[in-house]
Amino acid sequence: MFVQAYFAVGQSISNDLALTPAQQSVLKKMGAFFDKTVKENFPAKNDTLSYKAFLHCLLIDCGIHEAQYILQVDRKKLAKINAELFTDENYGFFYNKQYEKKKDIPCWYYYYHCPYNSEGYFPRVCKQHANNPLFQEIDSAMKYMHSFSCIIFMSVLMNLHLQEIRNPEVQQFVAFVFWRYLCFCGGVDLISRKGFCTTCKENN
């Protein structure tokens, strides 16, 4: 079930939806880095098969610790991108600044929770690409559930719209959704914008 598109095909996007150069820059770097990381961890003949293997790995046996996969991540490159992302201007545009103080958070939470800013990048990208079936599906699901579900998004992407992964805007959105997971694999807490070891030292 698709919602009505916000913009007709070919209609120009209003200026209030445009990202700043800094936001565009970090988003492109996130998309390219995530895409490269997925392909290196799941080598395949084409992009679609690499992402299918990645999504399948996250979807199967949800919540079982032994079934979860930790990506091999270039931590130095991740740190460079996060140095741009973690500035207040950029971070607040993409993610919720509220610090998440929870103890004993299960590992699966890092896979299936994207702390997105509901007034920043997320709604803008859905409006900008409202004629794209994948973003239509995302918008429809959010209106139905009053929230965003990573599990539903993964299922829709893998089973219905995986061919869209060749679209740079979709790659960037996927990177945005799974950046917390990527940071987790690289030893960084996206919420506190610090390394896990750094956080542990500060709490001692």
In this predicted model, which residue has the larger pLDDT, 201 or 185?
Answer: 185
Give percent above pLDDT 70 in the chain. 78
Mean pLDDT calculated for residue range 36-42: 95
pLDDT of residue 82: 98
H-only helix segments in the chain: 21-41, 47-59, 75-85, 88-94, 109-112, 121-128, 133-145, 150-159, 168-185, 196-203
Q: Which residues, including other chains, have CB under 8 Å from residue 38's CB and lie 6 or more apart?
A: 50, 51, 54, 71
In this predicted model, which residue has the larger pLDDT, 182 or 67?
Answer: 182
Token pair listed for 39:
């392909």
Assess whether pLDDT exceeds 80 at residue 108: no
Average pLDDT score over the chain: 81
pLDDT of residue 57: 83
**Choice among 98-112, 113-127, 161-175 with the minimum mean pLDDT:** 98-112
In this predicted model, which residue has the larger pLDDT, 69 or 91?
Answer: 91
Q: What is the Cα 196 distance to its own chain's centre?
A: 20
104, with CB counted inside 10 A (0-12, 13-18, 19+), is: exposed
Assess whether pLDDT exceeds 90 at residue 204: no
Assess whether pLDDT exceeds 60 at residue 106: yes
Write out pLDDT tens, residues 54-63.
988 887 655 4
Per-residue pLDDT band at 161 (split at 50, 70, 90): confident
Per-residue pLDDT band at 155 (split at 50, 70, 90): confident
pLDDT of residue 99: 61
pLDDT of residue 91: 96
pLDDT of residue 35: 95
User: What gap in Å lies between CA 84 and CA 180, rounded to an integer?
Assistant: 15
User: What gap in Å lies between CA 137 and CA 27, rounded to an integer?
Assistant: 22
Question: Over the Cα atoms of the chain, what is R_g?
Answer: 17
170, with CB counted inside 10 A (0-12, 13-18, 19+), is: buried
Q: Which residues, including other chains, have CB under 8 Å from residue 138's CB and lie 6 or more apart?
A: 126, 148, 153, 156
User: What gap in Å lies between CA 46 and CA 54, rounded to an integer?
Assistant: 13
Per-residue pLDDT band at 14 (split at 50, 70, 90): very low
